[in-house]
Structure 1
Amino acid sequence: MTPQPEKPPLEVYLLGAVDFAEMQALQRRLVFEHGEREGATLVLCEHPPTLSVGRSGSRAHIAPDDSELTGRGIRAHWVNRGGGCVLHVPGQLAGYLVAPIGGEASTAMGHVRRIQEMLLGVLAEFDLPGEVRHDPPGIYLGRARAATIGVAVSRGIAYHGFTLNVGPFLDLFDVLVEPGPDGSILRQTSMESRRQRPTPMSWVREAIVRRTELAFELDRHHVYTHHPRLKRKVLTHAYAPSPG
Structure 2
Amino acid sequence: MAAELWVSWLGRVEYSEALALQVRIHRARAAGRIADTLLLLEHPPVYTRGVRTEHGDLPLPADFYAERGIAIYDTDRGGRVTYHGPGQLVGYPIVKVGRVREFVAAIERALVAVLAAEGVVARPAPPGDAGIWTDRGKIASIGIRVRDGVSMHGFALNVDCDLEPFSWIRPCGMEGAAMSSLAREGRPGRMRCVRRRAGYEVARALDRRQRLVSAKRLRALASSPARPPRRERRPVGAVRP
Determine if the TM-score, normalized by the shorter chain, exceeds 0.5. yes
Selected match of 1:174 from 164, 167, 176: 167
Cα deviation, 1:121-165, whole Å, max 9, x if unaligned, reads 101111111111235542111151100001101111111110000
Does structure 1 residue 59 correspond to structure 2 residue 49? no
Does structure 1 residue 185 correspond to structure 2 residue 180? no
Distance across 2 between alignment mates of 1:63 and 1:144: 21
Does structure 1 residue 155 correspond to structure 2 residue 148? yes
Give the 5 Å matches for 1:76-225. Answer: 76-102=72-98, 107-134=99-126, 136-178=129-171, 180=174, 185-195=176-186, 197-225=187-215
Matched residue of 2:213: which SS? strand
Superposition RMSD on alpha carbons, in Å?
Answer: 1.7
> Deviation of residue 63 (structure 1)?
2.9
Distance across 1 between alignment mates of 2:130 and 2:140: 9
Counterpart residue identity of residue 140, structure 1: W
> Deviation of residue 29 (structure 1)?
0.6
Matched residue of 2:184: which SS? helix
Counterpart residue identity of residue 124, structure 1: A
> Deviation of residue 224 (structure 1)?
1.2
Structure 1's unaligned 5+ residue stretches are 1-5, 230-244
Runs of 4+ residues deviating >3 angstroms: 134-137, 225-229
Task: Report the equivalent of 1:33.
Answer: 28
> Deviation of residue 176 (structure 1)?
1.4
Aligned-residue identity in percent: 29
Q: 1:222 to 1:194 in 2, by over 3 A?
A: closer
Contact kept? 1:144, 1:187, Cα under 8 Å: yes
Contact kept? 2:131, 2:138, Cα under 8 Å: yes
Cα deviation, 1:102-127, whole Å, max 9, x if unaligned, reads 4xxxx011110000010001011111
Counterpart residue identity of residue 211, structure 1: E
Distance across 2 between alignment mates of 1:222 and 1:15: 12
Number of residue pairs matched?
Answer: 216
Distance across 1 between alignment mates of 2:129 and 2:178: 11
Counterpart residue identity of residue 7, structure 1: A
Counterpart residue identity of residue 156, structure 2: T
